[in-house]
Structure 1
Amino acid sequence: MEEKDIDYFLVPFGLAIMIGYHIWLVYTVIKHPRQTVMGLNAESRYQWVFSMMADPLKNGVLAVQTIRNNIMASTLLATTAITLSSILSVFVSSSSNTNHASQLVYGNKTRLLSSVKYFAILLCFLVAFLCNVQSIRYYAHVSFLVTVPTFIDQREPKNYVARNLNRGSLFWSIGLRAFYFSFPLFLWIFGPIPMFVCCIIMSFVLYFLDTTTSFTRNLHSYSMREKTEENDNEVV
Protein backbone atom coordinates (compact mmCIF):
# COMPACT_ATOMS: atom_id res chain seq x y z
CA MET A 1 0.00 0.00 0.00
CA GLU A 2 1.38 3.41 -0.96
CA GLU A 3 1.79 6.23 1.53
CA LYS A 4 -1.08 8.27 0.12
CA ASP A 5 -3.37 5.25 0.32
CA ILE A 6 -2.51 4.79 3.99
CA ASP A 7 -3.27 8.47 4.56
CA TYR A 8 -6.66 8.22 2.87
CA PHE A 9 -7.59 5.09 4.84
CA LEU A 10 -6.24 5.59 8.37
CA VAL A 11 -7.07 9.27 8.85
CA PRO A 12 -10.82 9.00 8.13
CA PHE A 13 -10.99 5.77 10.10
CA GLY A 14 -9.27 7.38 13.11
CA LEU A 15 -11.55 10.41 12.98
CA ALA A 16 -14.56 8.09 12.68
CA ILE A 17 -13.48 6.35 15.90
CA MET A 18 -13.22 9.65 17.79
CA ILE A 19 -16.48 11.04 16.41
CA GLY A 20 -18.31 7.74 16.96
CA TYR A 21 -17.15 7.65 20.57
CA HIS A 22 -18.43 11.17 21.23
CA ILE A 23 -21.76 10.38 19.57
CA TRP A 24 -22.08 7.45 21.97
CA LEU A 25 -21.09 9.73 24.85
CA VAL A 26 -23.74 12.32 23.99
CA TYR A 27 -26.37 9.58 23.72
CA THR A 28 -25.35 8.13 27.09
CA VAL A 29 -25.35 11.53 28.79
CA ILE A 30 -28.88 12.18 27.53
CA LYS A 31 -30.38 8.71 28.14
CA HIS A 32 -28.30 7.41 31.06
CA PRO A 33 -26.64 10.43 32.71
CA ARG A 34 -25.64 8.57 35.88
CA GLN A 35 -23.36 6.30 33.87
CA THR A 36 -21.20 9.25 32.89
CA VAL A 37 -19.09 11.68 34.87
CA MET A 38 -20.70 14.61 33.06
CA GLY A 39 -24.17 13.52 34.17
CA LEU A 40 -23.19 13.04 37.80
CA ASN A 41 -21.36 16.36 37.85
CA ALA A 42 -24.42 18.11 36.42
CA GLU A 43 -26.55 16.71 39.25
CA SER A 44 -23.93 17.74 41.80
CA ARG A 45 -23.85 21.31 40.47
CA TYR A 46 -27.63 21.38 40.57
CA GLN A 47 -27.64 20.45 44.27
CA TRP A 48 -24.75 22.83 44.95
CA VAL A 49 -26.75 25.77 43.61
CA PHE A 50 -29.70 24.88 45.84
CA SER A 51 -27.38 24.59 48.86
CA MET A 52 -25.67 27.91 48.19
CA MET A 53 -28.92 29.78 47.51
CA ALA A 54 -30.60 28.37 50.61
CA ASP A 55 -28.70 31.05 52.56
CA PRO A 56 -26.99 33.44 50.12
CA LEU A 57 -25.92 35.85 52.84
CA LYS A 58 -23.98 33.09 54.57
CA ASN A 59 -22.75 31.14 51.51
CA GLY A 60 -22.36 34.04 49.09
CA VAL A 61 -18.60 34.41 49.50
CA LEU A 62 -18.02 30.66 49.10
CA ALA A 63 -20.23 30.52 46.00
CA VAL A 64 -18.52 33.47 44.32
CA GLN A 65 -15.05 32.09 45.11
CA THR A 66 -15.98 28.70 43.65
CA ILE A 67 -17.33 30.27 40.46
CA ARG A 68 -14.26 32.50 40.28
CA ASN A 69 -12.05 29.41 40.26
CA ASN A 70 -14.03 28.07 37.30
CA ILE A 71 -13.68 31.42 35.53
CA MET A 72 -9.92 31.32 36.06
CA ALA A 73 -9.75 27.79 34.61
CA SER A 74 -11.75 28.83 31.55
CA THR A 75 -9.64 31.95 31.15
CA LEU A 76 -6.47 29.86 31.20
CA LEU A 77 -7.78 27.52 28.50
CA ALA A 78 -9.07 30.41 26.38
CA THR A 79 -5.72 32.20 26.61
CA THR A 80 -3.86 29.03 25.72
CA ALA A 81 -6.13 28.36 22.74
CA ILE A 82 -5.86 31.84 21.23
CA THR A 83 -2.09 31.88 21.83
CA LEU A 84 -1.62 28.56 20.04
CA SER A 85 -3.88 29.78 17.22
CA SER A 86 -1.76 32.89 16.79
CA ILE A 87 1.49 30.93 16.83
CA LEU A 88 0.16 28.44 14.29
CA SER A 89 -1.11 31.22 12.03
CA VAL A 90 2.25 32.98 12.11
CA PHE A 91 4.06 29.72 11.39
CA VAL A 92 1.85 28.86 8.42
CA SER A 93 2.04 32.37 6.96
CA SER A 94 5.81 32.56 7.34
CA SER A 95 6.40 29.13 5.77
CA SER A 96 4.24 29.85 2.72
CA ASN A 97 4.90 32.18 -0.17
CA THR A 98 3.26 33.30 -3.39
CA ASN A 99 4.55 30.30 -5.32
CA HIS A 100 3.14 27.85 -2.81
CA ALA A 101 -0.16 29.70 -2.72
CA SER A 102 -0.49 29.51 -6.48
CA GLN A 103 0.35 25.80 -6.37
CA LEU A 104 -2.39 25.32 -3.78
CA VAL A 105 -4.93 27.12 -5.96
CA TYR A 106 -3.99 25.10 -9.02
CA GLY A 107 -4.18 21.76 -7.24
CA ASN A 108 -0.89 20.80 -5.63
CA LYS A 109 -2.12 17.84 -3.57
CA THR A 110 0.88 17.79 -1.22
CA ARG A 111 0.45 21.44 -0.34
CA LEU A 112 -3.31 21.00 -0.10
CA LEU A 113 -2.99 18.13 2.38
CA SER A 114 -0.53 20.09 4.49
CA SER A 115 -2.90 23.06 4.53
CA VAL A 116 -5.77 20.83 5.59
CA LYS A 117 -3.72 19.55 8.53
CA TYR A 118 -2.86 23.01 9.80
CA PHE A 119 -6.38 24.31 9.21
CA ALA A 120 -7.89 21.41 11.20
CA ILE A 121 -5.58 22.10 14.15
CA LEU A 122 -6.33 25.82 13.96
CA LEU A 123 -10.06 25.11 13.86
CA CYS A 124 -9.80 23.04 17.05
CA PHE A 125 -8.02 25.86 18.88
CA LEU A 126 -10.55 28.44 17.68
CA VAL A 127 -13.47 26.26 18.82
CA ALA A 128 -11.76 25.81 22.19
CA PHE A 129 -11.31 29.58 22.51
CA LEU A 130 -14.93 30.40 21.63
CA CYS A 131 -16.35 27.72 23.93
CA ASN A 132 -14.25 28.87 26.87
CA VAL A 133 -15.29 32.47 26.29
CA GLN A 134 -18.93 31.37 26.38
CA SER A 135 -18.16 29.43 29.55
CA ILE A 136 -16.76 32.57 31.18
CA ARG A 137 -19.90 34.45 30.13
CA TYR A 138 -22.21 31.95 31.85
CA TYR A 139 -20.06 31.71 34.97
CA ALA A 140 -19.96 35.50 35.32
CA HIS A 141 -23.75 35.64 34.99
CA VAL A 142 -24.21 32.91 37.61
CA SER A 143 -21.90 34.74 40.05
CA PHE A 144 -24.48 37.55 40.17
CA LEU A 145 -27.58 35.38 40.38
CA VAL A 146 -26.34 32.95 43.01
CA THR A 147 -26.08 35.69 45.68
CA VAL A 148 -29.54 37.24 45.19
CA PRO A 149 -31.42 36.97 48.55
CA THR A 150 -34.87 37.30 46.94
CA PHE A 151 -34.54 33.80 45.43
CA ILE A 152 -34.46 31.97 48.77
CA ASP A 153 -38.05 30.70 48.77
CA GLN A 154 -38.44 30.38 45.00
CA ARG A 155 -37.59 27.16 43.21
CA GLU A 156 -37.81 28.29 39.59
CA PRO A 157 -35.06 30.94 39.88
CA LYS A 158 -32.79 28.33 41.46
CA ASN A 159 -33.46 26.01 38.53
CA TYR A 160 -32.57 28.85 36.17
CA VAL A 161 -29.27 29.49 37.97
CA ALA A 162 -28.46 25.76 37.95
CA ARG A 163 -29.18 25.53 34.22
CA ASN A 164 -26.88 28.46 33.49
CA LEU A 165 -24.14 26.91 35.61
CA ASN A 166 -24.47 23.62 33.75
CA ARG A 167 -24.39 25.43 30.42
CA GLY A 168 -21.15 27.11 31.40
CA SER A 169 -19.71 23.75 32.38
CA LEU A 170 -20.95 22.25 29.10
CA PHE A 171 -19.11 24.87 27.06
CA TRP A 172 -16.02 24.28 29.17
CA SER A 173 -16.23 20.55 28.43
CA ILE A 174 -16.65 21.17 24.69
CA GLY A 175 -13.63 23.47 24.71
CA LEU A 176 -11.61 20.81 26.48
CA ARG A 177 -12.72 18.22 23.92
CA ALA A 178 -11.46 20.53 21.19
CA PHE A 179 -8.03 20.39 22.81
CA TYR A 180 -8.30 16.60 22.88
CA PHE A 181 -9.11 16.53 19.17
CA SER A 182 -6.06 18.66 18.42
CA PHE A 183 -3.67 15.93 19.65
CA PRO A 184 -4.33 13.36 16.89
CA LEU A 185 -4.54 16.17 14.32
CA PHE A 186 -1.14 17.41 15.44
CA LEU A 187 0.33 13.91 15.16
CA TRP A 188 -1.15 13.75 11.66
CA ILE A 189 1.68 16.11 10.64
CA PHE A 190 4.12 13.27 11.34
CA GLY A 191 2.08 10.72 9.43
CA PRO A 192 -1.23 8.85 9.39
CA ILE A 193 -0.05 5.96 11.57
CA PRO A 194 0.77 8.09 14.67
CA MET A 195 -2.52 9.89 14.18
CA PHE A 196 -4.51 6.64 13.98
CA VAL A 197 -2.78 5.17 17.03
CA CYS A 198 -3.43 8.38 18.98
CA CYS A 199 -7.15 8.22 18.11
CA ILE A 200 -7.43 4.67 19.44
CA ILE A 201 -5.48 5.37 22.64
CA MET A 202 -7.35 8.60 23.30
CA SER A 203 -10.73 6.92 22.82
CA PHE A 204 -9.84 4.32 25.47
CA VAL A 205 -8.51 6.97 27.84
CA LEU A 206 -11.58 9.17 27.41
CA TYR A 207 -13.86 6.18 27.99
CA PHE A 208 -12.07 5.55 31.28
CA LEU A 209 -12.41 9.22 32.27
CA ASP A 210 -16.01 9.72 31.11
CA THR A 211 -17.71 6.65 32.55
CA THR A 212 -18.51 5.87 36.17
CA THR A 213 -18.36 2.68 38.19
CA SER A 214 -21.15 1.23 40.29
CA PHE A 215 -19.28 2.28 43.44
CA THR A 216 -19.16 5.90 42.26
CA ARG A 217 -22.86 5.91 41.36
CA ASN A 218 -23.85 4.40 44.71
CA LEU A 219 -21.68 6.87 46.62
CA HIS A 220 -23.16 9.75 44.66
CA SER A 221 -26.71 8.51 45.23
CA TYR A 222 -26.03 8.18 48.95
CA SER A 223 -24.66 11.72 49.12
CA MET A 224 -27.61 13.10 47.17
CA ARG A 225 -30.06 11.25 49.41
CA GLU A 226 -28.36 12.58 52.53
CA LYS A 227 -28.50 16.11 51.18
CA THR A 228 -32.16 15.80 50.20
CA GLU A 229 -33.12 14.53 53.64
CA GLU A 230 -31.17 17.37 55.24
CA ASN A 231 -33.00 19.96 53.14
CA ASP A 232 -36.37 18.36 53.91
CA ASN A 233 -35.62 18.51 57.65
CA GLU A 234 -34.69 22.17 57.35
CA VAL A 235 -37.94 22.93 55.55
CA VAL A 236 -39.95 21.13 58.24
Structure 2
Amino acid sequence: MPDHNTTLDNLAALIPSATLLTLYHLYLFRCVHKTPGRTVYGLTKAARRVWVAAIMFRKNEILAVQTLRNWIMASSFLATTAVLLITAVLALVGQMAVRWTKETLESPVFYMLGFVTEDWFASVRFFNHAGMICNVNLTQTELESILEPAPARSSGPFGNRLDSSPTKQWEDPSGACYRSIHNNPSRVATVLNQGCFYYSAGMRCYYIAFPLVAWFWGPWPLGISTIVLVALLRVIDFQISDFDELPRCSEEAMVEIRTN
Protein backbone atom coordinates (compact mmCIF):
# COMPACT_ATOMS: atom_id res chain seq x y z
CA MET A 1 0.00 0.00 0.00
CA PRO A 2 1.31 3.48 -0.72
CA ASP A 3 2.33 5.71 2.14
CA HIS A 4 -0.34 8.40 2.02
CA ASN A 5 1.22 10.37 4.90
CA THR A 6 4.47 10.82 3.00
CA THR A 7 2.59 11.86 -0.13
CA LEU A 8 0.54 14.42 1.81
CA ASP A 9 3.70 15.78 3.47
CA ASN A 10 5.35 16.22 0.09
CA LEU A 11 2.31 17.99 -1.32
CA ALA A 12 2.04 20.15 1.79
CA ALA A 13 5.63 21.30 1.24
CA LEU A 14 5.54 21.51 -2.56
CA ILE A 15 2.40 23.63 -2.97
CA PRO A 16 3.41 26.42 -0.51
CA SER A 17 6.96 26.46 -1.90
CA ALA A 18 5.77 26.77 -5.49
CA THR A 19 3.24 29.41 -4.47
CA LEU A 20 5.89 31.42 -2.62
CA LEU A 21 8.28 31.38 -5.58
CA THR A 22 5.49 32.29 -7.99
CA LEU A 23 4.29 35.23 -5.89
CA TYR A 24 7.83 36.53 -5.46
CA HIS A 25 8.54 36.45 -9.19
CA LEU A 26 5.21 38.14 -9.94
CA TYR A 27 6.19 40.86 -7.48
CA LEU A 28 9.62 41.14 -9.12
CA PHE A 29 8.04 41.33 -12.58
CA ARG A 30 5.75 44.13 -11.42
CA CYS A 31 8.64 46.07 -9.86
CA VAL A 32 10.79 45.73 -12.98
CA HIS A 33 8.03 47.20 -15.16
CA LYS A 34 6.54 49.74 -12.75
CA THR A 35 9.57 50.93 -10.73
CA PRO A 36 12.73 49.75 -12.52
CA GLY A 37 14.92 52.05 -10.43
CA ARG A 38 14.35 49.81 -7.40
CA THR A 39 15.56 46.64 -9.09
CA VAL A 40 18.98 45.55 -10.22
CA TYR A 41 17.55 44.50 -13.58
CA GLY A 42 16.19 47.96 -14.33
CA LEU A 43 19.46 49.65 -13.42
CA THR A 44 21.62 47.23 -15.40
CA LYS A 45 19.30 47.55 -18.39
CA ALA A 46 19.72 51.31 -18.40
CA ALA A 47 23.47 50.96 -17.77
CA ARG A 48 23.83 48.69 -20.80
CA ARG A 49 22.18 51.31 -23.00
CA VAL A 50 24.67 53.93 -21.82
CA TRP A 51 27.54 51.46 -22.25
CA VAL A 52 26.53 50.55 -25.81
CA ALA A 53 26.22 54.22 -26.78
CA ALA A 54 29.65 54.98 -25.31
CA ILE A 55 31.24 52.01 -27.10
CA MET A 56 29.75 52.90 -30.47
CA PHE A 57 30.50 56.62 -30.37
CA ARG A 58 34.00 56.29 -28.91
CA LYS A 59 34.91 53.46 -31.32
CA ASN A 60 36.24 51.26 -28.53
CA GLU A 61 35.76 47.94 -30.33
CA ILE A 62 38.35 46.03 -28.28
CA LEU A 63 36.49 46.65 -25.03
CA ALA A 64 33.23 45.49 -26.63
CA VAL A 65 34.78 42.26 -27.92
CA GLN A 66 36.45 41.49 -24.58
CA THR A 67 33.25 42.15 -22.63
CA LEU A 68 31.14 39.95 -24.89
CA ARG A 69 33.79 37.24 -24.74
CA ASN A 70 33.73 37.32 -20.92
CA TRP A 71 29.94 37.01 -20.94
CA ILE A 72 30.10 34.04 -23.31
CA MET A 73 32.72 32.34 -21.12
CA ALA A 74 30.58 32.87 -18.01
CA SER A 75 27.53 31.41 -19.80
CA SER A 76 29.52 28.38 -20.94
CA PHE A 77 30.82 27.81 -17.41
CA LEU A 78 27.31 27.97 -15.94
CA ALA A 79 26.00 25.61 -18.63
CA THR A 80 28.74 23.12 -17.77
CA THR A 81 27.88 23.43 -14.08
CA ALA A 82 24.20 22.81 -14.89
CA VAL A 83 25.12 19.60 -16.74
CA LEU A 84 27.17 18.48 -13.73
CA LEU A 85 24.22 19.25 -11.46
CA ILE A 86 21.93 17.12 -13.64
CA THR A 87 24.46 14.29 -13.51
CA ALA A 88 24.64 14.53 -9.72
CA VAL A 89 20.84 14.40 -9.47
CA LEU A 90 20.76 11.31 -11.68
CA ALA A 91 23.39 9.64 -9.49
CA LEU A 92 21.40 10.55 -6.38
CA VAL A 93 18.24 9.06 -7.86
CA GLY A 94 20.18 5.88 -8.64
CA GLN A 95 21.37 5.64 -5.04
CA MET A 96 17.83 6.18 -3.77
CA ALA A 97 16.50 3.47 -6.08
CA VAL A 98 18.61 0.90 -4.24
CA ARG A 99 16.66 1.56 -1.02
CA TRP A 100 13.22 1.25 -2.62
CA THR A 101 11.08 -1.44 -1.02
CA LYS A 102 8.56 -3.78 -2.57
CA GLU A 103 5.67 -1.68 -1.30
CA THR A 104 7.16 1.40 -2.94
CA LEU A 105 7.55 -0.35 -6.27
CA GLU A 106 3.97 -1.63 -6.17
CA SER A 107 2.38 1.70 -5.28
CA PRO A 108 0.43 3.58 -8.00
CA VAL A 109 2.25 6.79 -7.07
CA PHE A 110 5.56 5.15 -8.01
CA TYR A 111 4.26 4.18 -11.46
CA MET A 112 3.05 7.72 -12.08
CA LEU A 113 6.30 9.32 -10.92
CA GLY A 114 8.32 6.70 -12.76
CA PHE A 115 6.57 7.52 -16.02
CA VAL A 116 7.14 11.24 -15.50
CA THR A 117 10.79 10.90 -14.49
CA GLU A 118 11.53 8.52 -17.36
CA ASP A 119 10.24 11.04 -19.89
CA TRP A 120 12.03 13.83 -18.06
CA PHE A 121 15.36 11.98 -18.11
CA ALA A 122 14.90 11.23 -21.82
CA SER A 123 14.21 14.90 -22.53
CA VAL A 124 17.25 15.90 -20.46
CA ARG A 125 19.47 13.59 -22.49
CA PHE A 126 18.01 14.91 -25.75
CA PHE A 127 18.41 18.58 -24.86
CA ASN A 128 21.85 17.91 -23.41
CA HIS A 129 23.08 16.49 -26.72
CA ALA A 130 21.26 19.18 -28.69
CA GLY A 131 22.77 21.88 -26.50
CA MET A 132 26.26 20.46 -26.95
CA ILE A 133 25.83 20.40 -30.74
CA CYS A 134 24.50 23.96 -30.79
CA ASN A 135 27.32 25.11 -28.51
CA VAL A 136 29.95 23.57 -30.80
CA ASN A 137 28.34 25.13 -33.89
CA LEU A 138 28.05 28.55 -32.27
CA THR A 139 31.65 28.38 -31.06
CA GLN A 140 32.82 27.48 -34.56
CA THR A 141 30.80 30.36 -36.02
CA GLU A 142 32.29 32.78 -33.50
CA LEU A 143 35.82 31.63 -34.27
CA GLU A 144 35.22 32.00 -38.00
CA SER A 145 33.80 35.49 -37.50
CA ILE A 146 36.83 36.46 -35.40
CA LEU A 147 39.32 35.10 -37.93
CA GLU A 148 37.44 36.73 -40.82
CA PRO A 149 38.89 40.05 -42.02
CA ALA A 150 37.29 43.17 -40.62
CA PRO A 151 35.94 44.61 -43.94
CA ALA A 152 34.22 41.34 -44.81
CA ARG A 153 32.81 41.06 -41.29
CA SER A 154 31.37 44.56 -41.33
CA SER A 155 29.78 44.20 -44.76
CA GLY A 156 27.79 41.08 -43.87
CA PRO A 157 24.14 41.24 -42.83
CA PHE A 158 24.99 39.78 -39.41
CA GLY A 159 28.15 41.75 -38.76
CA ASN A 160 29.28 42.90 -35.36
CA ARG A 161 26.93 45.80 -34.62
CA LEU A 162 28.90 46.95 -31.63
CA ASP A 163 31.98 47.41 -33.79
CA SER A 164 30.14 49.61 -36.28
CA SER A 165 30.15 53.27 -35.34
CA PRO A 166 27.78 55.90 -36.81
CA THR A 167 30.67 57.50 -38.72
CA LYS A 168 31.60 54.35 -40.67
CA GLN A 169 30.97 54.35 -44.40
CA TRP A 170 29.03 51.39 -45.72
CA GLU A 171 29.72 50.00 -49.16
CA ASP A 172 26.05 49.65 -50.01
CA PRO A 173 24.89 53.05 -51.37
CA SER A 174 21.22 52.12 -51.15
CA GLY A 175 21.37 51.25 -47.48
CA ALA A 176 20.39 54.56 -45.88
CA CYS A 177 17.69 52.87 -43.85
CA TYR A 178 20.01 49.92 -43.24
CA ARG A 179 22.71 52.22 -41.88
CA SER A 180 20.28 54.10 -39.66
CA ILE A 181 18.99 50.86 -38.15
CA HIS A 182 22.28 49.06 -37.63
CA ASN A 183 24.05 52.18 -36.33
CA ASN A 184 21.32 52.92 -33.82
CA PRO A 185 22.62 52.44 -30.24
CA SER A 186 19.08 51.97 -28.95
CA ARG A 187 18.49 49.00 -31.23
CA VAL A 188 21.84 47.42 -30.38
CA ALA A 189 21.16 47.90 -26.67
CA THR A 190 17.73 46.29 -27.08
CA VAL A 191 19.28 43.20 -28.66
CA LEU A 192 21.92 43.08 -25.93
CA ASN A 193 19.30 43.39 -23.19
CA GLN A 194 17.33 40.54 -24.73
CA GLY A 195 20.37 38.30 -24.56
CA CYS A 196 21.01 39.32 -20.97
CA PHE A 197 17.37 38.55 -20.15
CA TYR A 198 17.87 34.95 -21.29
CA TYR A 199 21.03 34.81 -19.20
CA SER A 200 19.10 36.03 -16.15
CA ALA A 201 16.32 33.50 -16.81
CA GLY A 202 18.88 30.70 -16.96
CA MET A 203 20.41 31.84 -13.70
CA ARG A 204 16.95 31.91 -12.12
CA CYS A 205 16.35 28.29 -13.14
CA TYR A 206 19.77 27.50 -11.73
CA TYR A 207 18.75 28.97 -8.36
CA ILE A 208 15.42 27.13 -8.29
CA ALA A 209 17.24 23.83 -8.88
CA PHE A 210 18.64 23.87 -5.33
CA PRO A 211 15.24 23.54 -3.56
CA LEU A 212 14.35 20.77 -5.99
CA VAL A 213 17.55 18.93 -5.11
CA ALA A 214 16.85 19.48 -1.40
CA TRP A 215 13.45 17.87 -1.93
CA PHE A 216 15.17 14.49 -2.23
CA TRP A 217 15.90 14.67 1.50
CA GLY A 218 12.28 15.30 2.42
CA PRO A 219 9.57 17.97 2.54
CA TRP A 220 11.17 19.97 5.36
CA PRO A 221 14.42 20.66 3.45
CA LEU A 222 12.29 21.75 0.48
CA GLY A 223 10.36 24.31 2.52
CA ILE A 224 13.42 25.61 4.37
CA SER A 225 15.53 25.92 1.21
CA THR A 226 12.68 27.74 -0.56
CA ILE A 227 12.41 30.31 2.23
CA VAL A 228 16.18 30.80 2.25
CA LEU A 229 16.22 31.12 -1.55
CA VAL A 230 13.49 33.78 -1.57
CA ALA A 231 15.35 35.75 1.11
CA LEU A 232 18.58 35.60 -0.91
CA LEU A 233 16.81 36.56 -4.13
CA ARG A 234 15.30 39.56 -2.36
CA VAL A 235 18.83 40.76 -1.64
CA ILE A 236 20.11 39.92 -5.13
CA ASP A 237 17.25 41.41 -7.15
CA PHE A 238 16.84 44.70 -5.31
CA GLN A 239 19.19 47.48 -4.36
CA ILE A 240 20.79 47.53 -0.92
CA SER A 241 19.54 51.11 -0.56
CA ASP A 242 16.02 49.73 -0.74
CA PHE A 243 16.53 48.34 2.77
CA ASP A 244 18.27 51.25 4.53
CA GLU A 245 16.16 53.93 2.76
CA LEU A 246 19.08 55.59 1.01
CA PRO A 247 18.34 57.83 -1.99
CA ARG A 248 17.59 55.84 -5.11
CA CYS A 249 17.67 56.67 -8.77
CA SER A 250 14.50 58.57 -9.64
CA GLU A 251 12.07 57.43 -12.29
CA GLU A 252 12.65 60.65 -14.26
CA ALA A 253 16.35 59.82 -14.47
CA MET A 254 15.54 56.29 -15.63
CA VAL A 255 13.26 57.62 -18.37
CA GLU A 256 15.96 60.08 -19.46
CA ILE A 257 18.53 57.29 -19.61
CA ARG A 258 16.19 55.18 -21.75
CA THR A 259 15.49 57.99 -24.21
CA ASN A 260 19.14 58.96 -24.52
Residue 72 (structure 1) aligned with residue 73 (structure 2): yes
Who is 2:149 aligned against?
Answer: none
> Residue 7 of structure 1 contacts residue 192 of structure 1 at CA under 8 Å; is this kept in 2?
yes
TM-score (norm 1): 0.71
Residue 29 (structure 1) aligned with residue 32 (structure 2): yes
| Counterpart residue identity of residue 184, structure 2 | P
Deviations 1:42-70 (A, max 9, x none): 000010000000022xx110111111111
Q: After TM superposition, list the pairs within 5 Å mapping 1:95-110 onto structure 2.
A: 108-110=108-110
The alpha-carbon deviation at position 109 of structure 1 amounts to 1.3
Name the count of aligned residue pairs: 212
Pair 1:193–1:88, CA change in 2 (3 A): closer
Residue 148 (structure 1) aligned with residue 196 (structure 2): no
Which one has the bigger helix percentage? 1
CA RMSD of aligned residues (A): 4.2
Who is 2:47 aligned against?
Answer: 44
The alpha-carbon deviation at position 208 of structure 1 amounts to 1.3
| Counterpart residue identity of residue 108, structure 1 | P
Query: Unpaired segments of 5 or more residues in structure 2?
Result: 146-157, 169-178
- Counterpart CA distance in 2 for 1:85 and 1:200 is 23
Pair 1:193–1:116, CA change in 2 (3 A): farther
* Local SS of the residue matching 2:184: helix
> Residue 215 of structure 2 contacts residue 221 of structure 2 at CA under 8 Å; is this kept in 1?
yes
- Counterpart CA distance in 1 for 2:84 and 2:159 is 27
Pair 1:219–1:75, CA change in 2 (3 A): farther
> Residue 53 of structure 2 contacts residue 185 of structure 2 at CA under 8 Å; is this kept in 1?
yes
Identity %: 27
| Counterpart residue identity of residue 109, structure 1 | V
Pair 1:200–1:143, CA change in 2 (3 A): farther
Residue 159 (structure 1) aligned with residue 191 (structure 2): no
> Residue 32 of structure 2 contacts residue 39 of structure 2 at CA under 8 Å; is this kept in 1?
yes
- Counterpart CA distance in 2 for 1:14 and 1:88 is 20
| Counterpart residue identity of residue 7, structure 1 | N
Pair 1:149–1:26, CA change in 2 (3 A): same
Query: Unpaired segments of 5 or more residues in structure 1?
Result: 232-236
Pair 1:172–1:224, CA change in 2 (3 A): same
Q: After TM superposition, list the pairs within 5 Å mapping 1:197-216 onto structure 2.
A: 197-212=224-239, 213=241, 215=246
- Counterpart CA distance in 2 for 1:45 and 1:85 is 32
Pair 1:223–1:5, CA change in 2 (3 A): closer
> Residue 117 of structure 1 contacts residue 185 of structure 1 at CA under 8 Å; is this kept in 2?
no
- Counterpart CA distance in 2 for 1:190 and 1:216 is 43
- Counterpart CA distance in 1 for 2:88 and 2:221 is 23
| Counterpart residue identity of residue 165, structure 2 | P
Pair 1:84–1:197, CA change in 2 (3 A): closer
Deviations 1:61-94 (A, max 9, x none): 0111111111110111112223433554576579
Who is 1:192 aligned against?
Answer: 219
- Counterpart CA distance in 2 for 1:177 and 1:67 is 21
- Counterpart CA distance in 2 for 1:205 and 1:194 is 16
Structure number with the bigger relative contact order (C-alpha 8 A, sep ≥ 6) is 2
> Residue 35 of structure 2 contacts residue 251 of structure 2 at CA under 8 Å; is this kept in 1?
no
Who is 1:55 aligned against?
Answer: 58
Deviations 1:137-168 (A, max 9, x none): 7xx79981100134679586211110111111
